Structure 1
């Protein structure tokens, strides 16, 4: 086996972990894949004396590259048309994945969490992701971010408090979420305002991401009545060869609408106390062109 083959095998053994880290930091698979590709280039050209522990080295390189990319994309998002939502990903599980690990993965990639992470500084987001999603020791996070361990502990505490204050509460029961999503589809498809209102919390919000590339509200819609009427109006618009699928996106049930076999929209529901508290509607074709799975990565371990 050649040296290049050995390097590639070692890198591929950690690719899922690196992609998982980069996606949670950046919220877009395309950006995450670019970062992982750059990490490969750094890995393949690194002097072997630099690499004592391949996993630690690759996480450190990926984190620093993701930090640089995050600072760049945050500046671009200030000019984004309408609300910005993370790119939806289908959630894949290994056969050995336990119920606790499923819940852990769902929590770490939920749209509600990723939206809140957008309000953190790039460094706070990196520390939060590495600590909360992957349970890395503070020493390793300090090496990955180029900060002291004491500074990392402060950043972790600040980020954790920030997320706790802003993160909406939601029901974690997947069966309940799936049932509510099915009822939601039936109510919207049937044109029943009263049935739809019965599923929505009074202060429900609808957040739509079209990026100016598709039709969609450019402001957040508030209140059950306004959200319900908007959804019924959308459902009444005919699409060529429509097809609905109930899928699992970012750890929760979602509706995927296809038109002529291509993704048109993804609708995800955040559920709290048995009712829909937030509707996330994604229509930007750049984020729907290839709904891809995000791998399970157990805490402290590569996938």
Structure 2
């Protein structure tokens, strides 16, 4: 893991230099938006509403819109002038029982590691104090440009910091049924309680799995096995045009050769790609042998599979 933040935990006169690491990661498969017909990636441009011109990233600033539609422009320099006393220091505000922190407040979790040998002893002392008291430390910390409230507790011998939402970020459940006075019969309550008791157990998150992701993995694998893979068409402005187009031409030749079709038809297919005509025709005429084609196909499947798994 790579540290994403360095600073110190401060409580009283004690300061503990620490490094912060992300404690969690998601295993979602991400997708790119592409054109259905050829798999070409769909790109987005930042366009100014006033004149339709493309805006470079360096020219973009934060805008705070007033009720009347006027805009207050805030630059990076403006934002840097704002006071952030917790930018490099995790300030301990108080220690509270863990059960007093409503789980709805939790946002993201991070591991804290002592940043030096000098910080190891106070780190261990804070860990021991938290474990023996069964308390959590309520702190303030700045991650990025946002000051957040958080808790520090001990998990697997490591100080773990979990950021919290602010109280005013929790929505109130204002639903109509809350005002209804519906009487529940004692036997109904008893049956519900019996059902809960019959399903009682000890929570172990490792016993559960993401069935949707597993099904998605199988779907991608099936398409790879069926060679349902396309080489996305690339625009003229891309520096990799010639390489991609040549690969597309070669793949077209391989596909034609597999089906027992002539080299002339393979060349026709290759010419449909934006590559130079000479390169396309040359690739079509030199269609690989069956042995080379099989080897090429296997390598392509392996590459495509790795790309899908990494979810680029």
Same fold (TM over 0.5): no
Relative to its length, the structure with more strand (as a share) is 2
Relative to its length, the structure with more helix (as a share) is 1
TM-score (norm: length of structure 1): 0.20
Q: Is the radius of gyration larger for structure 1 or structure 2?
A: 2
Higher relative contact order (CA 8 A, sep 6+): 1
TM-score (norm: length of structure 2): 0.19
